[in-house]
Amino acid sequence: MRIAAIGSGSVGTGLAKAWSALGHTVVIGSRSPESERVAALVSGIGNGVTAAGLASSVADADVIVLAVPWGAAEASITAIGDLSNRVIIDATNPFARGLKLDIGHTTSGGEQVAEWAAGARVVKALNIVDARLLDGRKLDGRQISIPICGDDVEAKKIATELIAELGFDVVDSGVLENSRLLEPLALLMIRLSMKKSLGAEIGFRVSRD
């Protein structure tokens, strides 16, 4: 698959590294694709990963992953341009300063992204897993679960396959509106990691027979 990872931070580069190692073609969409920092990141990853400006990075992409801070999500989507019918995996979390949710209960970041990216097929996913675990490693001998939600069946299928390839246990969590539940869950994971000092080596798991 051709994947555009929007954002050259922990999530964007973590996914670029993991998916490119599996043979996918990954472009990192960046505000400064020619900067020394991004050039060093890209050459450090290897595997044919390249960097491009936001709009060009998505030109040939089958899947676009949004991996920017919440405060930059709308501007990034606007800079990309028309996203109708495109598959977007929204990995963002609508966090405000002080480890709080910026929005929630009656809407969610996932729904807001779908509104900004009019006509796109948005799947909320990968928002509750620490970027340091994107190599899909197991914890306690078991896969980490990645709940995903979205309204487009085909987009969810594509996201499921890509995320499962990373080594995760994908859990279909229904419609995009359920981002309202997945985003607070991300906050809980971060608070456990940071405030309770459990560190990066924690993951969410749905145990079932």
Ligand X SMILES: NC(=O)c1ccc[n+]([C@@H]2O[C@H](COP(=O)([O-])OP(=O)(O)OC[C@H]3O[C@@H](n4cnc5c(N)ncnc54)[C@H](OP(=O)(O)O)[C@@H]3O)[C@@H](O)[C@H]2O)c1
Which residues would be at the binding site for ligand X (CB under 6 A)? 7-12, 30-32, 38, 67-70, 72, 76, 91-93, 95, 127, 129-131
Q: Please give the Cα distance from 71 to 114 (Å, whole number).
A: 16
Cβ burial of 34 (10 Å; 0-12, 13-18, 19+) is exposed
Q: What is the DSSP letter of 71?
A: G
Residue 209 Cβ vs ligand X, minimum distance, rounded to whole Å:
28
Q: Which is nearer to ligand X, 32 or 85 (CB)?
A: 32
Query: Is-contact 142 167, C-beta < 8 A?
Result: no
Residue 116 Cβ vs ligand X, minimum distance, rounded to whole Å:
14
Q: Which is nearer to ligand X, 30 or 160 (CB)?
A: 30
Q: What would the two tokens of residue 165 be?
A: 């390839």
Query: Is-contact 7 30, C-beta < 8 A?
Result: yes
Q: Which is nearer to ligand X, 78 or 85 (CB)?
A: 78
Q: Please give the Cα distance from 207 to 5 (Å, whole number).
A: 30
Q: Which is nearer to ligand X, 8 or 108 (CB)?
A: 8
Q: Which is nearer to ligand X, 55 or 154 (CB)?
A: 55
Q: What would the two tokens of residue 91 be?
A: 């990995």
